[in-house]
Chain A
Amino acid sequence: MAEPGSNHSPETGAFFQRDRQWHPPAFTPGYKSSVLRSPQKALLSFDNTLSELTGPVFGHALLGELDNDLIHNFAKPGESAIGERIIVHGRVLDERGKGVPGVLLECWQANAGGRYRHKKDGYLAPLDPNFGGCGRAITGEDGSYAFRTVRPGPYPWPNGPNDWRPAHIHFSVFGHGFAQRLITQMYFEGDPLIWRCPIVGGISNRAAVEALIAALDMQSTMPMDALAYKFDIVLRGRRSTLFENRPEGN
């Protein structure tokens, strides 16, 4: 079976090992919730089996017309969300630099004032009646995607006595194998809260933090309408099956 909408035959090589020094570790005590929710024993390592190499695929038929437009997908007819209008776009790549086509990206965020539409969020900043906060898209043949939304506000959270999350958008990404499954957060270039945040601070490598900061992209703005940020997401690459089980080569 080929990828839907693609002429390429699927790849079957095992995924590159995860660099767990690059990712945040499970136990990051500055982020208090991690203290009792982090495994203490070593992970069990093994090379991918079919159970990790395979993964679900979602067709474009899933998507509604406004699924990637958070300014309008919860708004009443003729109205739109309040806030700094932005386009967030980029590509989903793998560690070999190849675009990853046909994968589902889901995002969620607070509104322009930093308030989430969730019954557990008691922050005093008001809800925006025209903003829900969720969106989704499926990457194109080159791995590209785009969302339209409003820039989320920072918000306080009960960790330290005065901790504030930087403005961020949560991203959930599927790859072609379930072992590529990833959830991360996108931050905004120049936000001084990034370097004070205990959740960001769980990542020890500065270059790894920078990989989560979207750059202002003036070339992709819509004049008199919306600014733009570019955010590429990188999933695990995969080994070649050159000598593994295909004598005819790749």
Chain B
Amino acid sequence: MAQSLDRLKESPSQTAGPYVHIGLTPNFCGIGGVYQSDLGSAMVNDQTKGERIDLRIRVLDGTGTPLKDALIEIWQADSNGFYNSPAEMRGAADPNFQGWGRKPTDMETGICLFQTIKPGRVPFRDGRLMAPHITLWIVARGINIGLHTRLYFSDEAKANAEDPILARIEHRLRVPTLIAERRGDAYVFDIHLQGEKETVFFDS
């Protein structure tokens, strides 16, 4: 026997369930007057630097049916590639951009719309630059532990080709599952939870 490492275990995850909106977007589900607005619903203001973009994201189940009770959070760098976080040690991020957003999928269409800016490039652990990307975290009824993935951009082919995370994907046919397609000022991104077109999800 050796000494105990004296560590705790992480609290096990449980599904967010179908009524996640009550806690995380109460105004969206008709519970007014408790919070002024739903946290994470507005990501940019007039002063935010960078190119305005819309993200139109859907989450589809194993039959291809869009989830209408999912909730997505996104986390991204500012237009210069800095995160607005105390753990960002390289410099100060744009004070007019928190970098975090939260949206439920529409209860009719299943579309989740974020209005944000295109992020700059962020260095990988060894200093190489990663391609511009947005981190996504998806929770819903039927999802026992939140799913992590990334959204990359179809008009960043050169940067995507040298991205160290995309390079880790052994099955190259799966790389396009992480690339949102540009349509005008919007990027369209379908997340397939299961099946042939299954999106690459991360354990990081």
User: Which A residues are closer than 8 A to B by beta carbons?
Assistant: 1-4, 10-12, 16-20, 22-26, 28, 31, 33-41, 43-58, 62, 64, 66-67, 73-74, 93-97, 106-109, 116-121, 132-136, 170, 172, 176-179, 181-185, 199-200, 202-203, 207-209, 211-212, 233-237
In the assembled complex, the CB of A1 is this many whole angstroms from the nearest CB of chain B, namely 5
Q: Tell me which residues from 141 to 198 in chain B have a Cβ below 8 Å from any Cβ of chain A.
A: 141-148, 150, 165, 168-169, 174, 193-195, 198
Partner of B142, one of A34, A106, A109: A34
- What is the CA–CA distance of A235 and B202 in the complex, to the nearest angstrom? 18
Q: Do the beta carbons of B31 and A95 come within 8 Å of each other?
A: no
Knowing A37-B143, A45-B204, A179-B204, say if A51 contacts B12 (CB, 8 Å).
no
Q: Do the beta carbons of A31 and B16 come within 8 Å of each other?
A: no
Q: Do the beta carbons of B86 and A176 come within 8 Å of each other?
A: yes
Q: Do the beta carbons of A170 and B23 come within 8 Å of each other?
A: yes
Q: Do the beta carbons of B75 and A51 come within 8 Å of each other?
A: yes
Knowing A56-B99, A57-B85, say if A31 contacts B144 (CB, 8 Å).
yes
Partner of B8, one of A40, A43, A93, A178: A93
List the B side residues contacting A182 at CB < 8 Å.
Answer: 10-11, 13, 146
Determine if B15 is an interface residue (Cβ-Cβ < 8 Å).
yes
List the A side residues contacting B194 at CB < 8 Å.
Answer: 36-40
Determine if B111 is an interface residue (Cβ-Cβ < 8 Å).
no
Q: Do the beta carbons of A183 and B139 come within 8 Å of each other?
A: yes
Q: Do the beta carbons of A120 and B85 come within 8 Å of each other?
A: no
Q: Do the beta carbons of B142 and A10 come within 8 Å of each other?
A: no
Determine if B89 is an interface residue (Cβ-Cβ < 8 Å).
yes
Knowing A52-B135, A121-B19, say if A208 contacts B31 (CB, 8 Å).
no
Q: Do the beta carbons of B11 and A211 come within 8 Å of each other?
A: yes
List the B side residues contacting A121 at CB < 8 Å.
Answer: 19
Partner of B11, one of A51, A107, A202, A212: A212
In the assembled complex, the CB of A61 is this many whole angstroms from the nearest CB of chain B, namely 12
- What is the CA–CA distance of A207 and B11 in the complex, to the nearest angstrom? 11
Given contacts A39-B193, A177-B87, 18 further A-B contacts (CB under 8 A): A2-B86, A35-B62, A36-B194, A37-B143, A38-B142, A49-B124, A50-B123, A54-B83, A54-B87, A54-B88, A55-B75, A55-B85, A57-B85, A97-B8, A108-B20, A118-B18, A176-B86, A211-B12
- What is the CA–CA distance of A119 and B107 in the complex, to the nearest angstrom? 11
List the A side residues contacting B100 at CB < 8 Å.
Answer: 55-56
Q: Do the beta carbons of A74 and B133 come within 8 Å of each other?
A: no
- What is the CA–CA distance of A51 and B16 in the complex, to the nearest angstrom? 23
List the A side residues contacting B147 at CB < 8 Å.
Answer: 39
- What is the CA–CA distance of A53 and B18 in the complex, to the nearest angstrom? 29
Q: Do the beta carbons of B142 and A132 come within 8 Å of each other?
A: no
Residue of A nearest to B200 (CB): A44
In the assembled complex, the CB of A216 is this many whole angstroms from the nearest CB of chain B, namely 19
